[in-house]
C-alpha cells in the first residue's frame, strides 16, 4: 500500500513508522503479528474473528484496525467487538448507529475508520461542545486535524479542506437549529 500517512500529519517519527508497518503488512501476516504483540488482550475477540470469512477482506480490515488502535494508544487499547462491528458497516458504506452507554467506546467507533483510511473525512454529530473536545483530544496526534465546526453547514467541505481536517464534529443544533 502506498503511504497513507501524508506528510501533513503531525506524528512522531516512531509512531508514523509503526503505523506504516501495519498499513504495509500483508494480510496473511496480520493475525500472527496481532497474536505476537497483543497476546491475551486478543482473547475476547477470538470468537468474533473466527466468525469472519477467512478469505474475505473483513478479517484483514478488522486485524489492521486492532493493530492500528493498539499502536496509536501506546498498547493501551484493543477495540471491542461492537466497535469492530460498527467499523465493518462503515467501511462497507453502510449506516451505523451505536447506541450504548457513557464510557463504552463510541469515540473509538468514530476513530477506527479514519485510522484505516487517513485520507477520509469523518463527520461526527455530537450534542455537547465539551463532549466534542473530549472526543478529539485523545486521538488528535494520530489523525489529521480534527475540526470542531462552529460555522454554517454550507461551509463544511471548504472548512475541512482549508484546515486539512479528517474529522468534522458538529453539534445537533447546527443541523436542526434550536
178 residues of the chain, pLDDT tens digit each: 455 555 445 677 888 899 999 999 999 999 999 999 998 889 999 999 999 877 678 999 999 999 999 998 888 899 999 999 999 998 988 887 888 888 888 888 888 988 888 777 676 666 666 666 666 555 554 444 444 444 444 455 565 555 556 565 555 554 555 5
Please spell the DSSP secondary structure of 106-147, one letter per residue.
HHHHHHHHHHH-TT--EEEE-S-HHHHHHHHGGGTTTSSEEE
Domain that holds residue 142: 121-178
Number of residues written out for the chain: 178
116 within some domain? no
Do 65 and 143 fall into the same domain? no
Do 86 and 44 fall into the same domain? yes
How far is 25 from 81, CA to CA, in rounded Å? 22
106 within some domain? no
Do 26 and 90 fall into the same domain? yes
pTM, entire model: 0.75
Q: What is the domain count for the chain?
A: 2
| Closest among 144, 171, 138, 175 to 160, alpha carbons compared | 144
Q: Looking up cell 450534542, which residue turns up? A: 127
Amino acid at each position: 500500500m502506498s503511504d497513507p500517512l501524508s506528510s501533513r500529519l503531525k506524528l512522531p517519527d516512531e509512531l508514523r513508522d509503526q503505523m506504516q508497518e501495519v498499513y504495509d503488512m500483508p494480510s496473511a501476516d496480520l493475525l500472527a503479528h496481532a497474536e505476537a504483540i497483543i497476546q491475551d488482550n486478543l482473547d475476547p475477540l477470538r470468537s468474533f474473528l473466527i466468525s469472519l470469512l477467512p478469505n474475505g477482506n473483513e478479517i484483514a480490515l478488522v486485524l489492521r484496525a486492532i493493530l492500528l488502535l493498539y499502536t496509536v494508544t501506546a498498547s493501551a487499547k484493543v477495540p471491542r467487538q461492537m466497535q469492530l462491528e460498527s467499523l465493518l458497516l462503515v467501511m462497507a458504506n453502510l449506516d451505523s448507529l451505536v447506541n450504548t452507554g457513557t464510557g463504552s467506546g463510541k469515540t473509538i467507533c468514530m476513530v477506527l475508520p479514519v485510522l484505516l483510511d487517513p485520507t477520509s473525512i469523518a463527520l461526527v454529530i455530537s450534542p455537547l461542545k465539551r463532549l466534542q473536545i473530549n472526543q478529539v483530544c485523545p486521538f488528535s496526534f494520530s489523525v489529521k486535524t480534527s475540526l470542531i465546526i462552529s460555522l454554517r453547514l454550507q461551509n463544511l467541505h471548504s472548512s475541512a479542506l482549508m484546515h486539512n481536517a479528517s474529522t468534522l464534529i458538529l453539534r445537533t443544533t447546527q443541523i436542526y437549529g434550536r
